[in-house]
Amino acid sequence: MKDGKIYEDLSLILRRSQIVFIFIVAIFIILVLSFWKIQVFDYQEYWRKSEANRIREVILPPQRGLIKERNGKILAKNVASFKVSLIRKNCENIDEVCQKISPLLNLDPSVLKKRINKFRNFPPFLPVVLKDNLSFKEVSILESRKIEFPELIIEAEPKRYYPHGGFSSHVLGYLQEISINEFQLKKNEEKSIGDLIGKTGIEKEYEVKLFGKHGQVLEITDSLGRHKGEMKRQNPINGQDVFLTLDFSLQKKAEELLEGKEGAIVILDPRSGEILSLASYPNFDPNKFITRFSDEEWNKLVSSSEFPLENRAIRGLYSPGSIFKLVIALAALDAGEITDRTSFFCGGTTIIYGHPFSCWFKAGHGSINLYEAIKHSCNIYFYNVGKKMGIEEISRYARKFGFGKITGIDLPGEKKGLVPDPQWKREVKNLPWYPGETISVSIGQGPILVTPLQVAAFTALVANRGKKITPHLILSKKPAISKNDFRGDFTKNIPIDIKSSFFEKVIKGMWKCVNENGTAKAAKIDGYDICGKTGSTQVISTEKAKALTAEKKIKTHSWFSGFAPMSNPKIVICVLVEYGGMGGETAAPIAKNLFALYREEYD
């Protein structure tokens, strides 16, 4: 194949290329010799320099954003605090160091050791926080003996402080040290070990905004650890302030009214979904455990039988009781099963599917129409309506009204509750659906479970005559006050397709319930058109209750949910008091107080 015509004479350029290669060989030899000089000949000198390299990277924590309520009152801020950390790399013998510093920090050596071991998989030059919230005495002792402990560093850090203590603690949440699992998550890419991050509430939900971004600086120290200067400073970017929709005085009043009880209150603006108050009681003082270390206070809270850490407003699951009659009424009107002229006879008890069912009013309401049935919360009326509807239809409407799913509030951990239907019972309990259960569900008893927030959102939907809002805590975009505010955007009203005239009918019943001597009469305020509905849910079944002795009277959960004024509603209030007795007794008067305060403040 080889022949001159195809293969031209390339000898000249080939020769030139190989000459260049000779140069390359020469450079390679020079390189090896240079490395020999640096790494072998001058080794001692460079080794000394690398040992003397006491420059270290110091993380500069950003200032966490403030949390403010709607009028600018500060709910969470930062105060100065000191912490002491240890750099493992600078320790010769960790056991010895633990022994030596234990009396200074007033901590057991084994505690210190355990703490240091927790971070054994991280690079040894990263500081491990040994103790935070140092007292001035501790700081001064440590500072004065700094030369003895080159492995310790004392740093100032901004510490979270909640000036109103337990006020709205469930909304705000609290901070704790980032766990090793959390540290490995992608969203925590910017974090470093020892950082305190939001574990619940707004602190968790808006963690990224509030946190900001770490800065760093290379600090130059001499061999004794004395500060000699710094370089490459990159300042931290402080977190953004967060404005909440909460109204300080309403929230305060709501918490006061719940004091000594267990329960929750949700107050929101039905036009926008802005939450003016979200109270859960008992609450807790987050200031007491913002530390990297779990202590007694924390263990007490976690193990308490009253579950003070639980946000009952979004995570408490309760039967809706008679509040659910509003759902049945709307559903039956929309399905065409009843009109406002449909009447049923209430004789105090009735037999359905062979079982006796009774009204709470033993004497019976007589022949009763929709308005009166809502006003007096007649059970028999709604047993009949529920029976006509059937469980499938009831659960379909309940879901349409937002039950059985989260409302989408900007708080972590919201529960979705339960809307039962035959399929659920088959799958979860492996039992068929009994027709009698439909009758219980018709008055909001049985397996159905809702959160106070869901009830408030549903009440807002009624007040809006069929427009659904997303309850939220972040103040919407307009009007922003300064550049550093973070504002959310939740201003969406989604219509559900049910005629507004049906809502008007139910609202009329709710108005009567408060203003015409109905079950919610305790919420009545003269000259203010409040519409509402009470609910009292049996905590244990009636059979068991009968077995109880007289002095241990059975108590029910007490509900009230309502709005005002009747036309163009501006406020929705939902109150739940655990073991509060009848809705009209406990929850309705609390709501009245709050309606009055709102009217005073805003009207």
Which parts of this chain interact with another protein (CB under 8 A)?
1, 6-8, 10, 12-14, 16-18, 20-21, 24-25, 27-28, 31-32, 34-36, 38-40, 42-43, 45-47, 49-51, 53, 55-57, 89, 122-123, 125, 186, 189-190, 220, 229, 231
CB of 37 or CB of 544, closer to another protein: 37
| DSSP codes joined into one string, 118-174 | HTTTS-TTSEEEEE-S--HHHHHHHHHTGGG-TTEEEEEEEEEE-TTTTTTHHHH--
Rounded to a whole number of angstroms, the minimum distance from the CB of residue 36 to another protein is 6
CB of 153 or CB of 449, closer to another protein: 153
Rounded to a whole number of angstroms, the minimum distance from the CB of residue 277 to another protein is 39
DSSP percent split of the chain into helix, strand, coil, nearest 5 = 40, 20, 40
For residues 448 and 418, the answer to whether their CB atoms sit within 8 Å is yes
What does the alpha-carbon distance between residue 497 and residue 495 come to, in Å, rounded to a whole number? 6
What does the alpha-carbon distance between residue 57 and residue 62 come to, in Å, rounded to a whole number? 16
What does the alpha-carbon distance between residue 273 and residue 410 come to, in Å, rounded to a whole number? 11
Q: What are phi and psi of 408, to 5 degrees?
A: 95, 15
Rounded to a whole number of angstroms, the minimum distance from the CB of residue 16 to another protein is 6
- Give the list of residues 6+ apart from residue 253 with CB closer than 8 angstroms, or none: 277, 593, 594, 597
CB of 47 or CB of 602, closer to another protein: 47
For tokens 């455990």, the residue is 289
Alpha helices per DSSP H over 316-411? 324-335, 370-376, 379-389, 391-400
What does the alpha-carbon distance between residue 170 and residue 501 come to, in Å, rounded to a whole number? 38
Farthest CA pair distance, the chain: 122
CB of 123 or CB of 479, closer to another protein: 123
For residues 409 and 314, the answer to whether their CB atoms sit within 8 Å is yes
CB of 14 or CB of 548, closer to another protein: 14
Rounded to a whole number of angstroms, the minimum distance from the CB of residue 590 to another protein is 49
CB of 125 or CB of 602, closer to another protein: 125
Rounded to a whole number of angstroms, the minimum distance from the CB of residue 45 to another protein is 7
Long-range contact pairs involving 142-151 (C-beta distance under 8 Å, separation at least 24): 142/84, 142/104, 145/104, 146/225, 147/224, 147/225, 148/100, 149/97, 149/100, 149/101, 150/90, 150/224, 150/225, 151/86, 151/87, 151/88, 151/90, 151/91, 151/97
| 322 carries an active-site annotation | yes
Rounded to a whole number of angstroms, the minimum distance from the CB of residue 95 to another protein is 22
Count the Cβ atoms, other than its own, within 10 Å of residue 300: 13
Which entry of 85, 169, 277, 322 is annotated as an active-site residue? 322
CB of 221 or CB of 593, closer to another protein: 221
Rounded to a whole number of angstroms, the minimum distance from the CB of residue 88 to another protein is 12
Q: What are phi and psi of 438, to 5 degrees?
A: -60, -40
Active site residues: 322
